[in-house]
Homo-oligomer: A and B are copies of this chain.
């Protein structure tokens, strides 16, 4: 079942929480559930657990397949599996869908037991620190106190970083990949255009579109098209699509002419078929709000001073969403706070998406670092 580096067939599980959680917004959520998957075996000392935190549109299905016939494996199947960098022969790996998600964890599209209807516009906004809180409670249920590593790319990296501040003693290693210590004005601007596309879609109905049997598909499609531009690099797009015309000539109309248009519209259409618009809005807000230095007078070094974890920070040269400079801000703050940090700036043309790709130098660095983590917990 675990042949050729795959975790094989997997089954999601659900953790139910009946202890109310007070969110950063002030809203108290009386109960919620989180859907998650695990790969590998928790050792007797419960010291080999790794938590994978997902990005904007990610979820708990990190590796493996649900059925032999599934076309696609989990979203990080190239990184997680027996013999892979996050080696399930050595580690007990947990992927979860964050609170507010749309893949099984309680979110805007879930039924609110209090009303019998989807939460919709009444679902509270959630911050990265709230996610860390819910993840810690999930770890409690699984009997895990200290994670061997918490790993995430992009928004996932922010969760890993936040863990080291919220629960310093519970993280041995934080792997913060293609991430940033906070969003810039430009980052927020892109998010706001995406949000406005959804919010002004006539099918949005103030977030309660479920009751209208509709979906703000147009807005969500635009949001995803725009997102994709920021996930790829200018050079990477140029190499893959350039100015290629679908029919070889100008058509003088608004149907697809350039291959890049075809690609983006396809991505947007596909996404708007399955992703929940309210979750998309919520995730972009979690990104905007993330700023762990905020309660330390803007001083990231101060925020990170209490961390106990060791860090691996990874960035990709062509990532302009969260450029290497943003990762270096994290590294500098960690060094100034006298933390142990390794930093890799990886040559790649894949832009922000590089963190999901199978570039050899990236895979090798992850493997080497996680070998060290494994050695440490076995020492």
Contact = CB atoms under 8 A, between A and B. Distances in A.
Nearest to A256: B192
A201 B221 CA distance: 12
A363 interface: no
B261 A199 contact: no
Interface in A167-184: 182-184
Contacts of A199: 254
A185 B222 contact: no
Contacts of A229: 186, 189-190, 193
Interface string A20-47: 0000111100000000000000000000
Contact of A243 (B125, B183, B222, B264): B183
B241 A185 contact: yes
A260 B200 CA distance: 18
A126 to B, nearest CB: 9
Interface stretch (A67-75, A152-160, A232-240, A335-343): A232-240
Interface in A248-262: 250, 252-254, 257-258, 260-261
A218 B200 contact: yes
A257 to B, nearest CB: 8
Interface string A258-298: 10110011001000000000000100010011010000000
Nearest to A284: B254
B261 A281 contact: no
A185 B25 contact: no
A197 interface: yes
A185 B235 CA distance: 9
Which of A189, A218, A225, A291 is most buried by chain B, counting CB atoms within 10 A of its CB? A189
Contacts of A289: 250
B186 A238 contact: yes
Contacts of A197: 197, 222
Given A226-B193, A243-B291, A258-B288, A237 B200 contact: no
B234 A184 contact: yes
Nearest 3 pairs of A and B residues by beta carbon: A25-B252, A185-B237, A185-B241
21 contacts: A24-B250, A125-B253, A184-B238, A184-B243, A185-B240, A186-B238, A188-B258, A188-B261, A189-B260, A192-B260, A192-B264, A193-B225, A195-B254, A196-B225, A196-B265, A196-B268, A200-B218, A202-B202, A222-B222, A243-B291, A258-B288
Given A185-B241, A196-B222, 8 more contacts: A185-B258, A186-B232, A192-B225, A196-B221, A196-B268, A201-B218, A222-B222, A254-B285
Interface of A: 24-27, 124-125, 182-186, 188-190, 192-193, 195-197, 199-202, 218, 221-222, 225-226, 228-229, 232, 234, 237-238, 240-243, 250, 252-254, 257-258, 260-261, 264-265, 268, 281, 285, 288-289, 291
